[in-house]
Structure 1
């Protein structure tokens, strides 16, 4: 091991190898915390190495002290799982691949295979200043695979930020590329840019890597990451085109189909996304392991989670619930599944929801802490039922919302008064505005003016609404204000304070605010009222959203002709796949000729849609 300031995790790592290895050798590159003291509890083989910006140099220095027949390389933020005692068994290969499971947080796991166990030979040494690896020739050396696992948590966002390694790693890689511009080094640079959220830079580096060589074990991962970068940059058409080539090249690896499905989904091609995720399930999870790096679940529970999301968007709530319950049973720690589950049953009572939660998400301290955080982020009334059932003590800021859901508004206000200066709650603006309505006290907005994110004009606007004074002038629309407005609507619906919804509807004639009210009402099944709220304006972009929202409610109410009218108006503003798809859904039930016409327009405008081509071909024959 080489270490520096690893007191957070070193003991956990060393405990995991006790009794599994013959000697522990640790090279410290300049720790200033308790790292060495922790290490001394397990070994006296601790050596110092002056850091020179080269991980291989430090690794090779550590190898000089090894006396055993085989060498196992671990990092401090890793632990070993070897239940079958393979490491102390009959090893006879020159090197062994071991699976490393990287905990990305929120239940997501990235698994890759890497050489971590190899014969102690002076011929085998590390190369590469960063992401160093031993140099082995598959044509000469014998290699094997172990069922032993290494568990790694160093890729979690909070840990990456706390270690502040991004700039250091980027600098090392750029220096390495100057001297050795290989495909592997450009791949590592691209991955480093992804960690930093610099997707344009990552895309350029990954393209360079693939141009230099595309026949290495990591080349598949390069293609997959190119697909992801295009997706993150919102370049969905390009992402789909690259993905379509990739699934032909790597047909039976679900990771590529999964990423294709994600890009189709964001682009609005729901049926193509559905096909892609179904293909993932057809291939299955085992095929993922053929990829050097793969995301656990792309051939099983992650694909099921996405199919739940697709079916929810298609209005197939029962099917969506089946998928999400299956996915959550298989992977209860994936936080995103809980979010989807809550979206599928917006009108279910908290008691009904709790029965599902008890069954699907059995109690575990960390898991339930994540569920509570999710319920708080969604400001969902299940929060109270959950807290009561498990007899939990909660603190600010969760306690504030807890008291609001209990209708104990004065206690919630007292919490805010005690804690507002601490700045620990990003919902403080929402809570102040909500309590101002519930307590019919507009002065609260003034009292908390230094803690909430409202301008003077916005504060006055909300106060006038509470006082039932219809504003005489329009308020400037901005993204932050719209988000506050939306959360207020959702909070009031969740609390079933419908009289305030009527107040908000009558308080504004601005189309943007009414659109949000309509969308929220629609989400909870109040489609007739959602239609009444909508108004047009002189902004074509807003009008298009108005038309699409109207069409969605009209479809649910069975008014197909009226829905087609608004879809055509939306198409007149801007044509996209979503408009054509909704028109097709209506036409497919009433007019076969019109259905074919719409499908042909889809194929012409969006040749990337395999579903449209297949559906058209099936009809024509």
Structure 2
């Protein structure tokens, strides 16, 4: 079975090498469609032996992806963006799935670097090459609609989900979004689409979440509620709609409705790892409401699902601190720091807990580390913390830290 990588790119000379390095020993063919690069993107693709073609950009991701598919010759297609990488453990699982003659589409679990509140997602990026499978929707282009139509004529096909995290996506990092103005491009494309498809639950979800996150809360919530009216939505999409509504109601301080939607998200029949965002936010909401014992449940569930989930440990530390369980709080904060050594809030809260335990030297040590990190990320907060300590008659030791870029 021949596997083809299929990509659309524009000005991706920085990210493309890492993406292609991650797949070069897994795929049999690389197809790169360039939509107007002015840098070395095309040259880099050619250095990796890719079939390179050009296509004028028309503000339609689906049209570009479908054009790229025309150059693919493999039996199976793997679709990646330049800011994604294939994990090392995914390769053998992909080959096993391809050997199953009954499979048409394999969904991949993607880790969202920088999106700490929703660290994993599910995406249909691996599929059997079939003339009926095409992308639609101008942004967040999907094959789902064409696959549903195909199944009416060929109902024998099955679906699967790879049981490991297959993709690493860095596109949600603040620096990446700012550099490419992704939010503006996404909003423009989705607004144009939803004008003609006002009840499309997928776009209601994506555009609604974008609105909520950009401060247009009322408009975003209206779209999210509209998306939930579709009685045929699949559990992964229902999860996202409930999750984003939970976030919106939490911001509006409507705790009762936030709880309803977080619970609605958690109740969906999806892979547990995809529920981390709702579990973490639900736990944080319960902590804020003073329901400390209840808050431990979703946070502990998140850690059981993903023992590397830093934010779950950090929030659990907040809960233990509120309960006065200081040794448990210290252990939780230390685990959060182990997982993310530059997380200043964990150091700062460790300082608070050590103060409460009566160990001033240890407390000042952690405050000093928090200040050192904040001096490189948020000078205002660093100065505030330093002044607060000075007002209490203390001075934290100075540290030098090297943050990862």
TM-score past 0.5 threshold: yes
Establish whether residue 208 from structure 1 lines up as the match of residue 226 from structure 2.
yes
TM-score normalised over the length of structure 1: 0.53
Contact 1:55 1:132 in 2 (8 A): yes
- 1:167-178 matches, within 5 Å, as 167-178=184-195
Q: Distance in 1 between matches of 2:73 and 2:264?
A: 49
- 1:169-248 matches, within 5 Å, as 169-181=186-198, 182-213=200-231, 215-216=233-234, 217-243=236-262
Distance 1:318 1:148, change over 3 A: closer
Contact 1:12 1:79 in 2 (8 A): yes
TM-aligned CA deviation for residue 32 of structure 1: 1.5
Structure with bigger strand share is: 2
Contact 1:23 1:68 in 2 (8 A): yes
Contact 1:25 1:43 in 2 (8 A): no
Q: 1:50 aligns with which of 56, 63, 75?
A: 56
Give 1:305's aligned residue: 314
Distance 1:129 1:312, change over 3 A: same
TM-aligned CA deviation for residue 332 of structure 1: 5.3
Contact 1:13 1:78 in 2 (8 A): yes
TM-aligned CA deviation for residue 243 of structure 1: 3.9
Give 1:100's aligned residue: 110
Establish whether residue 133 from structure 1 lines up as the match of residue 142 from structure 2.
yes
Structure with bigger helix share is: 1
Give 1:120's aligned residue: 129
- 1:534-613 matches, within 5 Å, as none
TM-score normalised over the length of structure 2: 0.79
Give 1:145's aligned residue: 161
Contact 2:108 2:165 in 1 (8 A): yes
Contact 1:200 1:233 in 2 (8 A): no
Contact 1:224 1:256 in 2 (8 A): yes
- 1:386-425 matches, within 5 Å, as none
Secondary structure, in 3 states, of the residue corresponding to 1:24? Answer: strand
In the alignment, structure 2 segments of 5+ residues that lack a partner are: 1-6, 397-405
In the alignment, structure 1 segments of 5+ residues that lack a partner are: 287-295, 358-370, 379-396, 399-423, 431-483, 498-621
Deviations 1:398-433 (A, max 9, x none): 7xxxxxxxxxxxxxxxxxxxxxxxxx9845995xxx
Secondary structure, in 3 states, of the residue corresponding to 2:223? Answer: helix
Secondary structure, in 3 states, of the residue corresponding to 2:319? Answer: helix
Secondary structure, in 3 states, of the residue corresponding to 1:37? Answer: helix
Give 1:85's aligned residue: 92
- Provide the aligned length of Structure 1 versus Structure 2: 371
Distance 1:17 1:493, change over 3 A: same
Deviations 1:27-80 (A, max 9, x none): 111112222222221135111111111111000000000011111100000111
Greater displacement, 233-242 / 1-10: 233-242
Distance 1:329 1:263, change over 3 A: same
Give the alignment's Cα RMSD to 1 decimal.
3.5
Distance 1:68 1:333, change over 3 A: farther
Secondary structure, in 3 states, of the residue corresponding to 1:259? Answer: helix
Q: Distance in 2 between matches of 1:163 and 1:254?
A: 27
Deviations 1:508-550 (A, max 9, x none): xxxxxxxxxxxxxxxxxxxxxxxxxxxxxxxxxxxxxxxxxxx
Q: Which has the higher contact order (CA 8 A, sep 6+)?
A: 2
